[in-house]
Amino acid sequence: MASQTPLAAPTERDSSILIATWNVNSLRMRWDRLTAWLADKRPDVLCLQEIKMQDADFPTLELHSAGYHAICHGQKTYNGVAILSRTEHGAPERVERGMNDGDPDAESRLILATIPGLNLRVGSVYVPNGQAVDADKYDYKLRWLKRFRSYLDRSCNPSEALALCGDYNIAPGDDDVHDPEVWRDTVICHPDARAGLQALLDFGLIDTLRKVHPEGRIFSYWDYRGLSFPKNLGIRIDHILATPTLAARCQRAEVDRQARKGEKPSDHAPVQVWFGQAP
């Protein structure tokens, strides 16, 4: 998978750490966009969702040439998550794929790793959408959220520096959708889905974008249909959740709307959060 976009040399910037998450909705379709974005933004860590490819097809070598270690938990045609980290921070360690809880679920929706040079544990998360509240897929979504909370209790520590980045397919509050009445009883805003997200937060996680911007409508996803993006008919379902020790270092957070523009974009925009260096 060769890039058609030349990669710029890393540019100087302040000492903050940039962590981002982006549902690319097919890595093959968005490859040129991704490489151009990496060259421009130079994030320290980028979590990807919906890569939609198997591990054997993942462009590990190409990304290394772009200056990134890359690990993935892939799946043919659907789902798939990945973590990219700048090579200067060292190869990812303690890599865990899936929840390893004995459940036969074969969908690739979770990968965690430690970035040694940042002393940081990072997860790329893709929560099921759920399709419709009365569908089996919604029951699967709620079960998945409960399994994820149990995984956190077993495998993570809220006192460590941990960022769980991804497409959660849940809008936490009414400010996170363009029309609360339209979205109220959907799989994105249903009380049970929001309760599942709150259970994750109760583990000891903070919504970093809302820490910086406690009010106002900020969206990360716009449907391809109905001119949703030009009309700003969006929802905020992509989140970077951080433990208190990491969230305390949060300096800035934003959605990169520019990445949603132009030819053949993903229907999601990257969410970016800047953190100060650890003391």
Which stretches of the chain drop beneath a pLDDT of 70?
Answer: 1-13
- The pLDDT score that the predictor gives to residue 254 is 98
Residue 13, pLDDT score: 55
Give the list of residues 6+ apart from residue 161 with CB closer than 8 angstroms, or none.
Answer: 118, 119, 120, 121, 242, 243, 245, 246, 278
Q: Which of 44, 68, 126, 138 is catalytic?
A: 126
Question: What distance in Å separates the CA atoms of residue 209 and residue 27, rounded to the nearest whole number?
Answer: 25
Which of 44, 68, 167, 221 does the annotation list as catalytic? 167
Look at residue 278 in the predicted model and tell me its pLDDT. Answer: 86
Give the pLDDT confidence of 27-59 residue by residue, as tens digits.
999 999 999 999 999 999 999 999 999 999 999
Topology annotation, domain 17-275: Deoxyribonuclease I; Chain A (3.60.10)
- Three state DSSP letters for the chain: CCCCCCCCCCCCCCCCEEEEEEECCCHHHHHHHHHHHHHHHCCCEEEEECCCCCHHHCCHHHHHHCCEEEEEECCCCCCCEEEEEEHHHCCCEEEEECCCCCCCCCCCCEEEEEEHHHCEEEEEEECCCCCCCCCHHHHHHHHHHHHHHHHHHHHCCCCCCEEEEEECCCCCCHHHECCHHHHCCCCCCCHHHHHHHHHHHHCCCEEHHHHHCCCCCCCCEECCCCCCCCCCCEECCEEEEECHHHHCCEEEEEECHHHHCCCCCCCECCEEEEECCCC
Q: Is 167 one of the annotated active-site residues of the chain? A: yes
List Cα–Cα distances, 93 to 165, 223, 251, in angstroms.
17, 36, 26
**pTM (two decimals):** 0.95
pLDDT in the model for residue 9: 38
251 contacts: CB under 8 Å, gap ≥ 6: 16, 274, 275, 276
- b (16+ CB within 10 A) / e for 203-239: bbbbbbbbebbeeeebbbbbeeeeebbeeebbbbbbb
Is 140 considered catalytic here? no
